[in-house]
Structure 1
Amino acid sequence: MKHVSVTEWTAYIADEIPDALKVEYENHLYSCDDCLTLYMEALDREESVRPNEELDIADSVMNTIAALKTVPSAEDETKNTRSMRTITKHYLIAAGFTVLLMASGAFHSLTKYVDNVESGAIKETPPVTDGLIDKTFNWMDDIEKKNKEGFKYE
């Protein structure tokens, strides 16, 4: 793409060019440092031409807040009531399961297990492979010992 002039960048900043051309200009900015410099010059010119305008966003923010503060309708209140009922049902179900588990002693056995783990009462069993390796070495030592004694295999 050819380089874009300062006047074209000014038109871009003022939003006076078609969207397709905007996309081309933006893509060109990523690859051309000269055009980026011209774009920055056009931005500086626009700032000097326009006085520093205060951004008056307070009105739009206040309008948005006022729209959010509207009185809830009867439909909203029924939705809130339904959601509170659902939350209450879930809470009661969870509380019921907790009472059931406490009555059955599930938590008590769990605490005993944790106490045993903390005290080290649970013994770790050696892996099976360690036992097999020990037996194999003992067997090999026996064979070697018998060979030294002159044991004859028949």
Structure 2
Amino acid sequence: MNHVSEAQWVAYLADEIPEALKIEYENHLYSCDKCLSVYMEAMEKEETSLDIEGFDIAGPVMDSISRLKGGSVEESWQHRKEKSLRTITRHYLIAAGFTILLMAGGVFQSLTEYVDSVESSSDKKTQSLTEDLIDKTFTWMDTIEKKNKEGFRNE
């Protein structure tokens, strides 16, 4: 296939050529770097010629959605907001109910008593783990030293 001119690429971008020719152009792009660069230039020129900034796509899309659903977009958003508020309220009420049940059952009271007992047992043991290890090490070394002295006396 011969190289495709920029005018032909512009026609391709404007969708003014037959489908068979489009496929032929696309296949040619895979193998020809020159045509690819010409195509990219044509695409950039077409892009700058369009007034993209003034085009609002959100409005028409939202109108299409509302026509398909049969209602307005504002009603749909209002319905979602109300449903979300009901869900949040339901979850809050469930949590509050469980809290009241746990308080009535004395779960929180027994938890505080358990924490108090754990704290009081830790207060009784004021010696740290390191100090305890040092004491045990010195006791062990003293017993070894005592055994060595007894062993020398017996000889």
TM score, norm. by length of structure 2:
0.45
TM score, norm. by length of structure 1:
0.45
Bigger fraction of residues in helix: 2
